[in-house]
Amino acid sequence: MAGLTGRMSTVVKAKVSKLLDRAEDPGETLDYSYQKQVEQLQNVKKGIADVVTAKKRLQMQESSLQQSVVKLDTQARQALSGGQEDLARTALERKNVAQTELQGLDTQVAELEEQQQKLTDSEQKLRAKIEAFRTKKEVIKAQYSAAEAQVRISEAATGVGEQMADVGLAMQRAVDKTENMKARADAVSELEAAGTFDDITQLGGGEDDIDRQLKQLSSQPAVDSELEKMKSELGSGAPRAPAPQIAAAGEAPADGEEAQQPIENGGQA
């Protein structure tokens, strides 16, 4: 913490004095500083837009995962009422993975939301400071001798420069967070691209490589208990006998209703 405190002050002072060294004439320095400040404000706006873009990407993934959860749950029920317990188990494993990813995305979207709000507040504060600087520079130009103006400019520029460094720091933290989230978002994209959350009924009986990996990813006890629960809700064991094909309405009494509300036992969500 001492490191940060010391370092931040050093960086701010170095940057501000660089700005002031650019021009000999105080009047020029003022206009140059102001021009730079306005440019930086644009960068802050762009930074906020980047955070919003990252958030939207995660939100799109969220809604597509939510659809997958509903679909896989429905298919698990249909498979179970059709006596295909293995298929039901596979669907539940995949649903479990999708739900876990969903929880992670939820947290990240909330964090980005918070970052965005903070950056917006900081941007407004910086804008107000820059506006104050603009007013002040006209006063300094009009009222003070060159020597005295130099001192006052330095004070004012330090004040704005520090605010700018502060926004810069907030921006950097937001970018760091966004980078971390990108890794998870990419992982979800890969799962989707691999067909993990696709139509389970198109899989056929064989277990493929994806299935084996998913079994490791998903929490088996959670899948087992959900399967048991689903069985009891369907009002029977798994009738192995003349198994009807996977179809919308099976013979179990509660079936039609269940298919309509598949995520009521979202369980570990």
Partner 1 sequence: MIVRISGEGQYRLADDDAERVDGLRREALAIVDSGSDEGFVDAFAALLDYVRAQGTLLGDDELQGSDVILPPADFSFEEAGREFTGEGLIPD
8 Å CB contact between 178 and 48: no
Please identify which residue in 167, 185, 191, 238 interacts with partner 1, judged by CB under 8 A: 167
Q: Which residues inside 1-60 make contact with partner 1, applying CB under 8 A?
A: 1-5, 7-9, 11-12, 15-16, 18, 36, 39-40, 43-44, 47
Residue pointed to by tokens 């910086």: 126
Which string of x and - marks every residue 219-238 that binds partner 1 (by CB under 8 A)?
Answer: --------------------
Which string of x and - marks every residue 109-148 that binds partner 1 (by CB under 8 A)?
Answer: ---------x---x--x--xx--xx-xx------------
* Cα–Cα dist 99/68, whole Å: 9
Shortest spacing between CB 49 and partner 1, in angstroms? 14
User: Looking at beta carbons only, is 47 or 82 nearer to partner 1?
Assistant: 47
User: Looking at beta carbons only, is 160 or 238 nearer to partner 1?
Assistant: 160
Residue pointed to by tokens 């009494």: 253
Q: Is 150 in the site for partner 1 (CB under 8 A)?
A: no
8 Å CB contact between 75 and 94: no
Radius of gyration of the chain (CA): 30
The contacts found for 120-128 with CB under 8 angstroms, 24 or more apart, are 120/48, 122/44, 122/166, 122/167, 122/170, 123/41, 123/44, 123/45, 123/48, 123/167, 125/163, 125/167, 126/40, 126/41, 126/44, 126/160, 126/163, 126/164, 126/167, 127/41
Which string of x and - marks every residue 54-83 that binds partner 1 (by CB under 8 A)?
Answer: ------------------------------
Q: Judged by CB under 8 A, how many residues of this single chain contact partner 1?
A: 46
Q: Is 166 in the site for partner 1 (CB under 8 A)?
A: yes
CA atoms within 13 A on the CB side of 245: 3
User: Looking at beta carbons only, is 19 or 58 nearer to partner 1?
Assistant: 19
8 Å CB contact between 129 and 160: yes
Residue pointed to by tokens 């992670």: 104
Shortest spacing between CB 122 and partner 1, in angstroms? 7
Q: Which residues contribute to the site for partner 1 (CB under 8 A)?
A: 1-5, 7-9, 11-12, 15-16, 18, 36, 39-40, 43-44, 47, 118, 122, 125, 128-129, 132-133, 135-136, 155-162, 164-173
